[in-house]
Chains A and B, each alone.
Chain A
């Protein structure tokens, strides 16, 4: 009698491949999720270039640049945690996880400060929006700014949850190999969120400068 293939426990490499394929398939849907917004940005910017040039000049360029560096460093530390995981350097691996999370929180804190600045300058789209630029479609720029950076920030919050969870898996594992796949998969998500910001930076902070 032939064994039921479904009853055979999958080997570790097969599980690993399935995990990776699953996450990459999910990331493909995320590319389309953000992609629709990037296409909307491209479209509106080509139609209303003045609104985007003026709007980008109201952005805190220094804070945007610092935040980009913060996120790239966070991604780097996550890559280090992934590389150090099979080694016996547990303290360094823990430090990389902690650094990844700390920098993720730093990014969100800087972003919150920027949002607060927009609120105090009445640049949040809606009835209270104050447009002193003379560019009638300026509000459209801020609709996209808050939608795209807000969606990214929501992904950051989710990402922090994912990294905390995989860190816990690693901390609890008696053999680091048990946590290798979750850490790699969680890292993929974190790096993807970093990639999205890499494109948001020139679109919102460098345009018109």
Chain B
């Protein structure tokens, strides 16, 4: 590792976006964790997954820079989810439609 220059200044520019996303992620985690204080409900499971999906979307869009990525990169990123959707839908279709 190089010796650190003494002229380093505190970071500011360029970190506003990651900081805003990080705050949103922690807020979503707080909401998710606080649902355990509510009485049992069938909606808590889907709500937890919805919040997880929102967190993942924030990470992928901003931390993984998909927002500013080229179209081809976005296609590659979407392909995995598309294949997973096919895998899940066809497997679950069998079990969930059994009488």
Taking Cβ atoms with an 8 Å cutoff, the residues of A that contact B are: 17, 20-21, 24-25, 27-32, 35-36, 38-39, 42-43, 46-47, 61, 65, 68-69, 72-73, 75-76, 78-80, 83-84, 87-92, 94, 171, 184, 187-188, 191-192, 194-195, 198-199, 201-203, 206-207, 209
Rounded to whole angstroms, the CA-CA distance of A202 and B56 in the bound complex is 13
Which residues of chain A are near B81, meaning CB under 8 Å? 31
The residue among A43, A94, A206 with the most chain B CB atoms within 10 A of its own CB is A206
Counting chain B residues whose Cβ lies within 8 A of the other chain, the interface size class is 35 or more
Which residues of chain A are near B8, meaning CB under 8 Å? 88-92
Taking a contact as CB atoms under 8 Å apart, the answer to whether B15 and A201 are in contact is no
Which residues of chain B are near A89, meaning CB under 8 Å? 8-9, 11
Q: Which among B15, B49, B91 is the interface contact of A39 at CB below 8 angstroms? A: B91
Taking a contact as CB atoms under 8 Å apart, the answer to whether B80 and A42 are in contact is no
Which residues of chain B are near A27, meaning CB under 8 Å? 77, 80
Q: Which residue of A lies closest to B22 (CB)?
A: A76
Q: Which residue of B lies closest to A174 (CB)?
A: B2
Taking a contact as CB atoms under 8 Å apart, the answer to whether A79 and B62 are in contact is yes
Rounded to whole angstroms, the CA-CA distance of A111 and B92 in the bound complex is 31
Can you list 27 A-B pairs with a CB-CB distance of less than 8 A? A17-B73, A24-B77, A28-B83, A29-B80, A30-B80, A35-B83, A42-B92, A46-B96, A65-B29, A72-B22, A72-B29, A72-B55, A76-B18, A76-B22, A79-B21, A79-B62, A80-B15, A83-B15, A92-B8, A187-B63, A191-B60, A191-B63, A195-B59, A198-B55, A206-B36, A207-B48, A209-B44
